[in-house]
Amino acid sequence: MFRKVLIANRGEIAVRIIRACRELGISPVAVYSEADTESLHVRMADEAVCIGPAASTQSYLKIEALVSAALATKAEAIHPGYGFLAENAAFARAVNAAGLTFIGPPAEAMEVMGSKISARLAAIDAGVPIVPGTVEALTSFAEAGRSAEEFGYPVMLKAAAGGGGKGMRLVNDREELRSAFETAQTEAAAAFGDSSLYLEKAIERPRHIEIQVFADNHGNVVHLGERECSIQRRHQKVIEECPSPINDPDLRQRMGEEAVKIARAVNYTGAGTVEFLLSDTTREFYFLEMNTRLQVEHPVTELVTGFDLVREQFSVAAGARLSFAQAGVSWVGHAIECRIYAEDPGNNFFPSPGTITHLQEPLGPGIRVDSGVRRLSEVSIHYDPMIAKLAAWGRTRDEAIDRLRRALDEYEVAGITTTLPFFRMIVRDKEFIAGRLDTGFISRFNERQTGPQMTTEDTDLAIIAAGLYYTKTQQPVRFQNPVSKWKLAAREIKSNHRRD
Ligand code: MV4
């Protein structure tokens, strides 16, 4: 095993990786930008190296600074976490060229999956079903028109260099194609420096189901089942679950086998995720893309399978065999994760940077919090606003939801606005509880919410009532079960009050 590892990341994932280091007796080295001198991950590491100014392009994305920091501290390996350079093949190559181990797949596998077109070709070669569509990049608008007719409207235009929904356009009919083609091209060029597009038939009301895979350097490839990630907002996952509420052992096995085929086809090693779209109506599934990193939502798989994915990443990167075989993987109970963001759900999820003046994270049966912050942490505008992940495990989905609801109500954050109130409403939503989670969930949820929305006068009354309560008792407003909008509003007023 490695003696010392550098963690090329920040926030909750750096903390998560440091914890795995501790359990394995590895000395963790943190890196930080000038905005992160006081951050939790820096405090928790054995050593920390400042790699540059706040802007991530000048710090967390600086390949030379990271490699130099690893060499200077005599680290033997670099764990990239997720985001930043985690899926950057040039980074993996630079790490290896410096004689260090990159904790992740081979650079070649990252490159194949980095282009959606080569990823689809790899799937075809492996005999894995892909969404019907073009195999090569579209060379002209005329070709897009012909392909759209061939596969049949509605179609999706997607950026070849994209992923995660960036530069994606739904085209319902011939009339919409021209402007969709042009905007998708412009967006792709701006976001990825590559305007090439391809076209897929649109799957209506799909579910996003992904399979966790793991491979070692000895030819062993296994899957750890699925995660349901259909609840998304602007292509950002909001809630993830394991197993999928449409849990079906036969479907899991079939998707798992296809995911393993893909991983084998690209000589994958380490942790990876194969994304599929599943048609709710036909139950058919199609390969979408492969993420060549540890994912944000890995805790739900850990809670249900019992494996420590970061530990396993270290172990296979150090050359060991996987600590389990496919037959040794079983799934117990149900886990659900909420991503807690420093964003204002009452203001279109606008970022809410600032100082966390009060923090009480939930604990208790079946609760796991992966947090990157503590009291007095600064949430900076420079980085992703996700401050923590809250996951609940229960023997059944209902029990997991009960625990999640309880933990969300226990969770206190003041000084910044968070997405906690949004989750407190989702875990009380009938459709969510029933597990009806296709990709249209959030927009239908928002429509349901606009029904009993508070009027301005209601809000004013709630503010006055909460103010009176506070003046009288000198106690922050506290509710055991904030079911009504009024109580939720009062809860927010309580957080606002603590801001000073
Ligand atoms: C699709 C699709 C329908 N048909 N592709 C969105 C994120 C990216 N990973 C792929 N996405 C989609 N691709 C075809 N051919 C619908 C979506 C989609 C979606 C997928 C999963 C979860 C939420 C979603 C929300 C909107 C669109």
Q: What is the pLDDT of residue 448?
A: 87
The answer, yes or no, to whether residue 455 has pLDDT greater than 60, is: no
Mutate which of 147, 208, 244 to test ligand 1's pocket (most atoms within 8 Å of Cβ)?
A: 208
List of residues 6+ apart from 353 with CB closer than 8 A: 342, 378, 379, 380, 381, 385, 416
**Token duo for residue 69:** 């920091």
322: Cβ below 6 Å to ligand 1? no
Atom nearest to 155 CA in ligand 1:
15
Atom nearest to 229 CA in ligand 1:
22
Q: 480 falls in which pLDDT band (50, 70, 90)?
A: very low
Using N-to-C axis directions, what is the helix angle for 485-498 and 456-473, rounded to 10°?
60
**Token duo for residue 258:** 């296809």
164: Cβ below 6 Å to ligand 1? yes
The answer, yes or no, to whether residue 160 has pLDDT greater than 60, is: yes
Active-site annotation holds for 234 = no
Q: Would you say 258 and 129 are in contact if contact means Cβ atoms under 8 Å apart?
A: yes
List of residues 6+ apart from 367 with CB closer than 8 A: 390, 391, 392, 393, 403, 407
The answer, yes or no, to whether residue 445 has pLDDT greater than 80, is: yes
Atom nearest to 286 CA in ligand 1:
15
439: Cβ below 6 Å to ligand 1? yes
Q: What is the pLDDT of residue 458?
A: 61
CB atoms within 10 A of CB 203: 22
The mean per-residue pLDDT over the stretch 140-152 comes to 96
Question: For residue range 360-408, what is the model confidence (pLDDT) as tens digits?
Answer: 999 999 999 999 999 999 999 999 999 999 999 999 999 999 999 999 9
440: Cβ below 6 Å to ligand 1? no
The mean per-residue pLDDT over the stretch 6-14 comes to 98
Burial of 319 (0-12, 13-18, 19+ CB in 10 A): exposed
Collapse the DSSP code of 198 into the 3-class scheme (helix H, G, I; strand E, B; otherwise coil) and give the result: strand
**Token duo for residue 147:** 């392909």
**What's the CA-to-centroid distance between 27 and ligand 1, angstroms?**
40
Distances (CA, A) of 330 to 127, 266, 327: 26, 26, 8
206: Cβ below 6 Å to ligand 1? yes
Question: Of residues 120, 227, 252, 293, which has the active-site annotation?
Answer: 293
**What's the CA-to-centroid distance between 255 and ligand 1, angstroms?**
18
The mean per-residue pLDDT over the stretch 242-271 comes to 96
**What's the CA-to-centroid distance between 441 and ligand 1, angstroms?**
13
Question: For residue range 460-474, what is the model confidence (pLDDT) as tens digits?
Answer: 666 677 667 666 666
**What's the CA-to-centroid distance between 253 and ligand 1, angstroms?**
23
CB atoms within 10 A of CB 20: 21
**What is the Cα–Cα distance from 486 to 492, expressed in whole angstroms?**
10
**What's the CA-to-centroid distance between 278 and ligand 1, angstroms?**
10
Expressed in angstroms, the distance from the first to the final Cα of the chain is 48
The HSE-up count of residue 339 (CA atoms within 13 Å, CB side) is 23
208: Cβ below 6 Å to ligand 1? yes
**What is the Cα–Cα distance from 6 to 27, expressed in whole angstroms?**
9
**Token duo for residue 451:** 């029904």
**What is the Cα–Cα distance from 220 to 256, expressed in whole angstroms?**
14
Burial of 351 (0-12, 13-18, 19+ CB in 10 A): middle
- Residue 196's nearest CA partner among 161, 171, 232 is 161
**What is the Cα–Cα distance from 50 to 69, expressed in whole angstroms?**
9
**What is the Cα–Cα distance from 171 to 186, expressed in whole angstroms?**
16
**What is the Cα–Cα distance from 189 to 53, expressed in whole angstroms?**
27
**What's the CA-to-centroid distance between 172 and ligand 1, angstroms?**
15
Q: In this structure, what is the dihedral angle of CA atoms 473, 474, 477, 480, given to the nearest 10 degrees? A: -60
The answer, yes or no, to whether residue 449 has pLDDT greater than 90, is: no
Q: 451 falls in which pLDDT band (50, 70, 90)?
A: low
What are the residues facing 388 on neighbouring strands?
Answer: 340, 371
Mutate which of 232, 275, 444, 445 to test ligand 1's pocket (most atoms within 8 Å of Cβ)?
A: 232
Question: For residue range 88-142, what is the model confidence (pLDDT) as tens digits?
Answer: 999 999 999 999 999 999 999 999 999 999 999 999 999 999 999 999 999 999 9
What are the residues facing 341 on neighbouring strands?
Answer: 386
**What's the CA-to-centroid distance between 165 and ligand 1, angstroms?**
7
**What's the CA-to-centroid distance between 164 and ligand 1, angstroms?**
8
Distances (CA, A) of 29 to 72, 271, 440: 11, 21, 42
199: Cβ below 6 Å to ligand 1? no
Which residue has the least CA distance to atom 9 on ligand 1?
164
277: Cβ below 6 Å to ligand 1? yes
The answer, yes or no, to whether residue 287 has pLDDT greater than 90, is: yes
Q: What is the pLDDT of residue 454?
A: 55
The HSE-up count of residue 426 (CA atoms within 13 Å, CB side) is 26
Collapse the DSSP code of 393 into the 3-class scheme (helix H, G, I; strand E, B; otherwise coil) and give the result: strand
Torsion 133-437-242-392 (CA) sign: positive
The answer, yes or no, to whether residue 308 has pLDDT greater than 90, is: yes
Q: What are the respective helix, strand and coil percentages of the chain, to the nearest 5?
A: 40, 25, 35
**What is the Cα–Cα distance from 371 to 391, expressed in whole angstroms?**
11
Say how many residues make up the chain.
Answer: 500
230: Cβ below 6 Å to ligand 1? yes
278: Cβ below 6 Å to ligand 1? no
**What is the Cα–Cα distance from 176 to 168, expressed in whole angstroms?**
14
288: Cβ below 6 Å to ligand 1? yes
Across 97-180, where does the E strand assignment appear? 101-102, 155-159, 169-171
Q: 481 falls in which pLDDT band (50, 70, 90)?
A: very low
Q: What is the pLDDT of residue 381?
A: 96
- Residue 414's nearest CA partner among 469, 365, 373, 447 is 373
134: Cβ below 6 Å to ligand 1? no
**What is the Cα–Cα distance from 130 to 118, expressed in whole angstroms?**
12
**What is the Cα–Cα distance from 304 to 459, expressed in whole angstroms?**
41
**What is the Cα–Cα distance from 81 to 309, expressed in whole angstroms?**
12
Which residue has the least CA distance to atom 6 on ligand 1?
165
The mean per-residue pLDDT over the stretch 19-30 comes to 98
**What is the Cα–Cα distance from 201 to 381, expressed in whole angstroms?**
38
